[in-house]
Amino acid sequence: MFVRMRVLYHLWLSPASRTIRIVLAEKGLEFAMKVEPIWQRRPEFLALNPAGEVPVLIEPDGTVLADAAAIAEFLDEVYRDKLLLGINPVDRAEVRRLVAWFDHEMNREVTDNLIGEKMMKRFLGFGEPNSNAIRAGKANLVHHLDYIGYLVDRRRWLAGEHFSLADIAAAAHLSALDYLGDVSWDDHEPAKEWYARVRSRPSFRAILADHIPGAPPPKHYVDLDF
């Protein structure tokens, strides 16, 4: 029997794509990956996701899923191994609040300024990165690392006592920033300790093996002891 493979349309340094890669790995689900050059706005891809963004996941039965939060919620509803949203509604609300925090606030204040500028401009040839944006991104990153430290001073994981989608979303952003060498871990011990715990999980292995042609990661990206 021919079984279709689950396919994830992604970009290497897209935190939202990394989030879904980690979720799939946590749940032990196999998938193939296709790099989607979203800046080309291919009609075939826009038909899958009118927003024109990665990630998009095609399930083995052909179901098309778009938007990282919607994909993660779907996977957590359908594949009930290792629940990543939590069980009770109050805990789930806290996970969702934090996922939105990282995917929207941190994304706008930090990730867009650093990854957006560096990757989209330098590597794709869309001009020089805007140095004001990079400065702002680095300054804002300090506050986000402090907030992560604040949370893990009070809780075992970001949203509470259990590892959750909030940890995955935050680590997805930080791993992409780390790939570009933008995270000053040594100034942020509590966040560093939490990140070391997240990235020692088997679900993180594929992310750490990423190697973008022409843009190798710094040595500490892969070094699990930092």
CA of 89: how far to CAs of 131, 161, 163, 166, 192, in Å? 43, 15, 16, 15, 29
CB of 159 to a copy of itself, least distance (A): 11
Q: 80, exposed or middle or buried, with CB in 10 Å at 0-12, 13-18, 19+?
A: exposed
- Polymer length of the chain: 226
CB of 54 to a copy of itself, least distance (A): 13
Side chain identity at residue 76, one-letter code:
D
Nearer residue to a copy of itself within complex by CB, 166 or 174: 166
CB 148 within 8 A of CB 170: yes
Nearer residue to a copy of itself within complex by CB, 12 or 74: 74
CB of 27 to a copy of itself, least distance (A): 14
Nearer residue to a copy of itself within complex by CB, 36 or 73: 73
Nearer residue to a copy of itself within complex by CB, 17 or 178: 17
Judged by the rule CB under 8 A, the positions of this chain that interact with a copy of itself are 50-51, 63, 65-67, 69-71, 73-74, 77-78, 89-90, 92-93, 96-97, 100-101, 104-105, 147
CB of 215 to a copy of itself, least distance (A): 28
Whether omega before 55 lies within 30 degrees of 0, making that bond cis, reads yes
